Structure 1
Amino acid sequence: MKEFIRENILFFFTFLFVLLIFSYLFYLSTNYIINYWTFSQAHINYSEGFVKRGLFGTTALLIEKKFAFQFVNTFNIFFIVFYSINIIAYFLLLKQYSQFKIIFVFLALSPTLILFSFNDLGGFQRFDVISIFLILFHVYLINLYRSNKISFENYRKKFVLFILPIFFISILIHEIQCWSIPFHFLLIKNIYDEKNYKNKDILIYFSILILLTIFVFFFPINQENIDLMINKLSDRNLWIDAITVASSSEGNINVINYEIKTNLLNTYNLKINLLFLILGIVPINLLLLFLNKKKVIFVTKNTYLYMYISVIPYLTFFAIGDTGRWLHIISMICFGYLGQYPINNIKYCQAARSPSLIKKIILFLIIITYCFFVRLPHGGNLEEKKISIWGGLNEKFIAAYMLFFGKNIDEKYNLNKRFKNKYKNKNEN
């Protein structure tokens, strides 16, 4: 028992730490609407016909009508459940790396991975959480398959019965899910290729998702219908611009020129975006190379190529905005290509985790600085808002201290000024 505790104390402490800090956000969301932009968009519905992102709002409004269960509570529970599942799934995949302490801490606390939406609340309560869930769930299934814990047929059935239906539904909640189609296709294709199976059935599966994607993006939406839908929501005190932009194709197209100028042609913003793009891809790539060379994992030949192809769709973040969210998903995709491989050769692990003391100290200091004092901003014009890469967990600890012990509290730490109190929202009357 003592040996088990000694070997796993870092894992359980880190897991509980991450779960605890997110639990505070969950508690906060029961009193405040943290992301009012997403909350407003979540009300988009099919009352006047098909519109993008209408499924969640249609369902939540129906629940509110039939069961008198307030919309905001459905909204909060949805995100609490998905974030909780994602944290658990992430650490299930991460557990095998707890024996490599430096690697484990880097992956567990990296500002581009699971802690992204905690470090920058602009990335919290986004429907990207479904993309992350599907990425982690699919990777977990492949890890089980590669560990010989489930058969190929078992993996394939779970993919068809769970991942595909959830994927289909999630596209109707938010079209951002479409961008992860190449990731899932290439991940399962790699397995089929290893088994020398024909790809006919997976081509059929993904053709359905592609057809739905085309339908969502090109279905003609009448602006009058959108206006009628918005009028029906007029008593809810929502962010109307958020609904207008999200429910029509024209709204998204109109912002592309602005976002390109902001994210691609602005040197300050571009440097930060490129920095986190590198931090999201290169360390995972190096870990794959290093662990494969040490024979700790066995990486298949197409892994690196497929990883790069999978992130290409997300490079459109320069034209769509909220770049941090997209960089976060890129990081999770890269982690997925690492996480699919179980550690099979334990006898090689000691050699792989024995750098010199000086190297350990240098790596430790770099990783602590990176994980505790750096954050990935969720998006916006970073230069105009004077947002840098500095922040992260240390800023959250300062904020917690100010909230509970601070006197003459600064406006940025005043929750009533920063967030909308859900009990004062007209939606709750």
Structure 2
Amino acid sequence: MQVTPNSRSRPAGDAAPVKVSYALWLVLLAAAGTFALTMGVRQTMGLYLSSVNTSTGLGIANISLAFAFGQLWWGLTQPFAGAIADRVGTARVLIAGVVLIAIGTVITPFMTTTWGLILAIGVLAAGGAGMAGPSVLMAASTRMVPAAQRGLATGIVNAGGSFGQFALAPVAMGLTASLGWMASMQWLGVLVLLALPAAWILKGNSNAIAAAAASASGAAVLTARQALARAVATPSYGLLAAGFMVCGFHIAFLATHLPGVIESCGMPPAIAGWALALIGLFNIVGSLGMGWAVGRWRMKSLLSLLYATRGLAVLAFVLAPKTPAVVLVFAAVMGVTFLSTVPPTAGLVAKMFGPANMAMLFGVLMLAHQIGGFFGAFLGGQVFQVTGSYDWVWYIDIALAAGAALIHLPIREARPARLAAA
């Protein structure tokens, strides 16, 4: 299978021509594999929270602040990383991101203060994960596959991130059991370097290709500022951002504090590792299913269904007795919805505004996502320290899920009229 478009002009920066001889599966393998490593390493960090607390004595609240800042910084880097990738090329951004993840993860065990943890976890590792994250990877995939297959492509790339969480959580537990938590975390930092070869496959940039197509048709390509101004003026884009913020709250709270929730219920740490692994495993199913579904049903309706399912699942978990079986079933249900919001969200952005500036526009939504993630990670630690329980965070989570399910319904999936006219 060949990728499109047929590039007869040479993009700028590191962008060699996007050759039609590139197999689609190779493109998707590179993007999904990169996301598997970066997301897998990032989402397993919650397994080390208790060990970091025991080693440093900083307290759950202070350590949660470092994790929460990482959620925010991961989002803050993505619009800028996306804008750079749109112009100078995906490869350079991915290489820088992967190297930063490795450095931040390797030095984390040496950090003994809150500011040290914020630097290692919150700035270096999280910033690198943002640069080699979904906004850049989704845009690269959208650029390199036929329009009719973009929904499935984003689902496959998204499933890569889920597979990374599923695969690396048991790896992290095994390394911790055999080598200790410090060496375990550092080996994960080394492992992420396996993503570097993918940068060569995904090289290129969206704006150069869009400029070539626009030149052939006599149209103009919007600058990043113009594209962002039009997106911000589009009400549906704002609703999409608000819903994605709720998604970030859910994911960050679970990724950071689900091990703590399980520990507070008196269950062994192995249950926490398997719960995170199940979230990753079942999100593979959810991501692939959602990638298939976005070409058949309205994406805003799919998003409403996902958020409603999350809210009902959390409500059932709060009311149910806390046993290992209940925890694992809950993890599986949440896994189906965990990152399944990404394919329809990215699909709506591409449908409303096209592939040009896609990395930057989706990066802005990822920023909104991670603002929610900051509060999910931070409030989890604060509420537990004050009340000794996570109950109030679950209540907030249920209310936010209900709100997110409702605010997606008014979204208009067609392109804004002024863009369609242009």
Q: TM-score, normalised by structure 2?
A: 0.28
Q: TM-score, normalised by structure 1?
A: 0.27
Q: Which structure shows the higher helix fraction?
A: 2
Bigger radius of gyration among the two: 1
